[in-house]
Structure 1
Amino acid sequence: MEQYFSFIILTYNEEIHLPRLLNSINGLNAPIYVLDSGSTDKTVEIAQKFDAEVKINPFINHPKQWEFALNNFKINTPWTIGLDADQIISPELFELLKNFDPLLYQDVDGIYFNRKNFFRGKWIRFGGMYPKYLLKMFKTGVGYSDINENMDHRFITPGKKIIWKKGHILEENLKENEIRFWIDKHNKYSDLVAIEEVERLQNIRSQTNNRNLFGSPDERMAFLKSIWWKLPLGWRPFFYFFYRMILQLGILDGKTGIMFHFLQGFWFRTIVDIKIDEIKRKIVNP
């Protein structure tokens, strides 16, 4: 089988996730590159058992980690796929990749995969969480990491992009089954988001994607974010939680799903707003 694409995977202490992912792509005859942030468990050992090339780089944020990976691994295939360690490839997506013919995509720079997100074993289907299209596959040397983001990571391609609606990335972080891990993780993320928003107010950061409600998934997200940043701090988490729970039918996700929407859609956003206010006060009164 000719090699048309390579996988790049980011890791940090992912011994419970990485075998799951690597087994899901086993058989695609694709080179695998793992960028690790300094794991202290068996992550690197597992990657090497699957013949992955491994590099180590200290973690600052996801966009910069992806930028390092794209600039420091020598990818020889015409296409690159970027995945997180807690994701796996569904059998349907495996077949799409197995039968991938680059001649059919000569005018395409990027391909969106559809993601299913799981929380404590529950597929979060509503609340705007599905379908969720992520640009994960792009022409090597053309796609790049959007470092104008401080926490959310996305790849950018200048040319035509298409969406694969069939097949899925299945994403479930098993470590998040422990609520303390989830809270600690998102508390760190809230620092990054708060700093990013303040820097946008100071015109230090700008959006890379065009804002277009009817454009690509990332252009639509850029449009929605531009509105979000204008909403009043402290109130917007209430608006967003209502939107997800009622207008986007998040209540239909049941007990576990409602817990997820509350934590991710309200608690996290509230902490971000409090930290933004704290940063702004320190700027005014250093």
Structure 2
Amino acid sequence: MNEAPNPTAGTPKKNCVVVLLTFNSAGIIRETVTAALRVSPHVYAVDSGSTDGTVQILQELGCTVVQRPFTNYSEQRNWAIAQVEEDCDWQLHLDADEVLDDTSVQEIRALLAGGARHDAYMLRRRDYFMGKMLRYSGVNPWHLRLFRSGAGRCEARLYDQHFILVGAQRTSARLQGFMHDKNALQLSDWIARHNRWSDAEAREKSGPQSVGDDVLQPRLLGDARERTRFIKQLYYRLPIGVRAISYFFYRYFFRLGFLDGKAGFYFAFFQALWFRMLVDAKIYEMNSMTDDNNPNLGVSPSCANTTRPNAS
């Protein structure tokens, strides 16, 4: 499949373009785009070969759709950034199942109308699991998604990727609204996806850790994302096994996940305990066996065509 040229080239510069990554997202994409269109009439979707009617829905709603094979989340995001960078002042990046609420729509519209004092803005993400909105059990909610063209890119990581600021003296701020991550996966599909993501996380943690300007750095006194990464760095200093169990108790009891009912328990169990234990088991496996003994160890090629993993 050939990569499509930038269809926005040569047109008048836009105030804001909403950028989506899509793959078989027909069940939610209409709701996502409908909310995004309240922010900007310009929606640019990079699709990775959907076969479920996603592209038809996008075209029906007036979106620009290009096809591009999926290699990994960071590479796909940064390619999309480059395609629209010269044609808009601002970029808003959403996943296919992230729906803006009324507050975030109003805030973003006010910023685009001339009220922006910063180069980028962070939105809170509210997780859904088994059809229920999670008020307490969710993972790190803050994500930098709205930024001036030329001011942001996606960090080069296999897992837990965030957008980062580019250039000196750039500033960011928080918005009050939410983007609702309306994950509609059946539990079996959710488990299969997280099994693939555990490959990427285990490989990331088994190799040299990325440093420099291309990744979000762990900082205790940084923004919410940097503090979370600092805490995650401490997490990986705990013994294998102990850390996953400790994380479950932290999420379910200390962070009041039990107040989200049965869905909150299952989310804490699968996302904080099962997933983290699976990552630890794969790290142990990778450290115990050389690639010569098992050349198939590594990131599964089936990690392609998945939305961005939840940062945790």
TM-score (norm 1): 0.89
Aligned to 1:283, the other structure's residue is in SS state coil
Q: Which amino acid aligns with 2:148?
A: K
Which among 34, 43, 53 is matched to residue 45 of structure 2? 34
Aligned to 2:289, the other structure's residue is in SS state helix
Instruction: State whether residues 211 and 217 of structure 2, in contact with CA within 8 Å, keep that contact through their aligned partners in structure 1.
Output: no
Q: Cα offset for 1:285? A: 6.8
Which among 46, 50, 68 is matched to residue 57 of structure 2? 46
Tell me the distance in 2 between the aligned counterparts of 1:221 and 1:121: 26
Q: Residue 137 of structure 1 aligns with which residue? A: 146
Which among 141, 148, 156 is matched to residue 164 of structure 2? 156
Tell me the distance in 2 between the aligned counterparts of 1:45 and 1:73: 22
Equivalences for residues 44-83 of structure 1 within 5 A: 44-73=55-84, 75-83=86-94
Q: Residue 211 of structure 2 aligns with which residue? A: 206
Tell me the distance in 2 between the aligned counterparts of 1:28 and 1:103: 14
Inter-CA distance 230–156: structure 2 relative to 1 (3 Å threshold) = same
Runs of 4+ aligned structure 1 residues displaced above 6 Å come to none
Instruction: State whether residues 78 and 153 of structure 2, in contact with CA within 8 Å, keep that contact through their aligned partners in structure 1.
Output: yes
Q: Residue 196 of structure 1 aligns with which residue? A: 204
Residue-by-residue CA offset, 1:22-55 (whole Å, 9 max, x unaligned): 1112343431111111111111121122222222
What stretches of structure 1 of length at least 5 have no aligned partner?
A: none
Equivalences for residues 238-257 of structure 1 within 5 A: 238-257=245-264
Residue-by-residue CA offset, 1:139-197 (whole Å, 9 max, x unaligned): 111100101x21222100141110012x21111111x2x21111111111111111111
Residue-by-residue CA offset, 1:58-109 (whole Å, 9 max, x unaligned): 2222222212211234552211000001111111212222333464324x12
Say which is worse superposed, 25-34 or 112-121, in terms of deviation: 25-34
Q: Residue 271 of structure 1 aligns with which residue? A: 278
Q: Residue 121 of structure 1 aligns with which residue? A: 131
Q: Residue 5 of structure 2 aligns with which residue? A: none
- Residue 240 (structure 2) pairs with residue 233 (structure 1): yes
Q: Cα offset for 1:3? A: 4.5
What stretches of structure 2 of length at least 5 have no aligned partner?
A: 1-12, 294-312
Aligned to 1:99, the other structure's residue is in SS state helix
Which fold has the larger relative contact order, with Cα–Cα distance below 8 Å and residues 6 or more apart in sequence? 2
RMSD: 2.0
Instruction: State whether residues 128 and 248 of structure 1, in contact with CA within 8 Å, keep that contact through their aligned partners in structure 2.
Output: no
TM-score (norm 2): 0.82
Equivalences for residues 159-170 of structure 1 within 5 A: 159-165=170-176, 167-170=177-180
Residue-by-residue CA offset, 1:112-152 (whole Å, 9 max, x unaligned): 0122111122221114647x2211101111100101x2122
Q: Which amino acid aligns with 2:80?
A: A
Q: Residue 190 of structure 2 aligns with which residue? A: 182
Tell me the distance in 1 between the aligned counterparts of 2:38 and 2:136: 33
